[in-house]
Amino acid sequence: MQPELKQQKIVVLGSCSVDFTTFCPRLPMPGETLHGTKFMTSYGGKGANQCVAAAKLGGNTVMISRVGDDQWGKQYKEHLSSLGVDVSHTHVTQNVTTGIAQISVAENGENQIVIVAGANNCLSKSDVDLAKDLVKNAGVLIAQLETPFETTLEAFKLNTGIKLLNAAPARTDIEAILPYCTILCVNEPEASLIVGFNVEIPNVKIALKKILEKGCDTVIITLGDKGAVYSSINSPDCVHVFCEKVIPKDTTGAGDAFVGALATFLMRDKNKPLHQVVGAACKIATLSVMKEGTQTSYPENHSSFDEEYSFVIL
């Protein structure tokens, strides 16, 4: 771990889950049983993944979340704390299990994921109220859609900094929060659900414009090995930032690596052009898919922020 950056806090409101991951030659068809090659248990959940990605890059991170009163809840808090994450607002929920994710990963890096929310469903407005000053003054407030929507909306209404929403897992009923989003970050399927058509590079400019009209300041659509595109209200150009293509080992959690890195780099130098921040976040996500696992694949103390990234205006 590198020392904490002397900066405002990155507060993550979101999920903690334990990942039970099987590796197999390919993903099974419905009703099919396959022999896997390896099994591993690790720490996950989109919220905690993003928090850990930020912490490993030196972000000053706090996790607001709920874990169960089982063995996994206690171990999860200890794990986050060991990585430098402030867990004073990670609460143990009585008589509820910690969230879990069942993940299958194919040899080509593709994955299938089933989640059981458990204690994540108990993250409430009262948890936001307990951390009211922290939420209000966070330099970046990150949230996702694996915890109750009304809790996230309450937090976004409070925060006076950068509100970064990763609208995943995909859902359609999020329009109420979009006017409070400084940055909305989605992948192609998530963007497609919001705009009502299949988002691809030829029509991505139309998709960005349509989402911006719903009230966000900036929208970023991640494109996997094709990088990311973004557009903003104040700068309506559609910018495509490229990234290196690699042979992936495990794509699980790559989007979370991107979000956590994005938050950290936004805090590190607020004068950097956005294409550089997005490019650096893409680099961290790319590095993560070259290793197995989620949080274990996220790089520490990486120099990606100092590199130059190619981009075009579409």
Q: What is the CATH number of the domain that holds 156?
A: 3.40.1190.20
> Which of 298, 295, 294, 299 is closest to 103 using CA atoms?
294
pLDDT of residue 221: 97
pLDDT of residue 254: 94
pLDDT of residue 1: 39
Q: List binding-site positions for substrate.
A: 17-19, 45-49, 146, 256
Q: List binding-site positions for K(+).
A: 250, 252, 288, 291, 293, 297
Assessment of whether the complete model's pTM goes beyond 0.85: yes
Q: 242 lies in a domain? A: yes
Q: List binding-site positions for ATP.
A: 187, 222-227, 255-256
* Average pLDDT score over residue span 300-305: 79
* Average pLDDT score over residue span 82-107: 94
pLDDT of residue 76: 97
> Range with the lowest mean pLDDT among 83-87, 171-175, 176-180, 181-185?
171-175
Q: 27 lies in a domain? A: no
Q: 110 lies in a domain? A: no
Q: Which of 129, 173, 217, 256 is catalytic?
A: 256
Q: 112 lies in a domain? A: no
Establish whether 256 is a catalytic residue. Answer: yes
Q: Which domain holds residue 272?
A: 10-16+45-98+120-313
Q: 109 lies in a domain? A: no
Q: 277 lies in a domain? A: yes
| Mean of the per-residue pLDDT values of the chain | 92
Question: pLDDT band for position 4 (50/70/90)?
Answer: very low
Question: pLDDT band for position 311 (50/70/90)?
Answer: confident
* Average pLDDT score over residue span 84-94: 97
Residues 6+ apart with CB under 8 A from 99: 15, 16, 17, 18, 45, 67, 68, 115, 116, 117, 118, 119, 120, 146
Q: 108 lies in a domain? A: no
* Average pLDDT score over residue span 187-211: 94
The whole-angstrom separation of Cα 71 and Cα 272 is: 43
> Which of 105, 54, 40, 45 is closest to 251 using CA atoms?
105
Split into its structural domains, the chain has a count of: 1
Q: 160 lies in a domain? A: yes
pLDDT of residue 6: 52
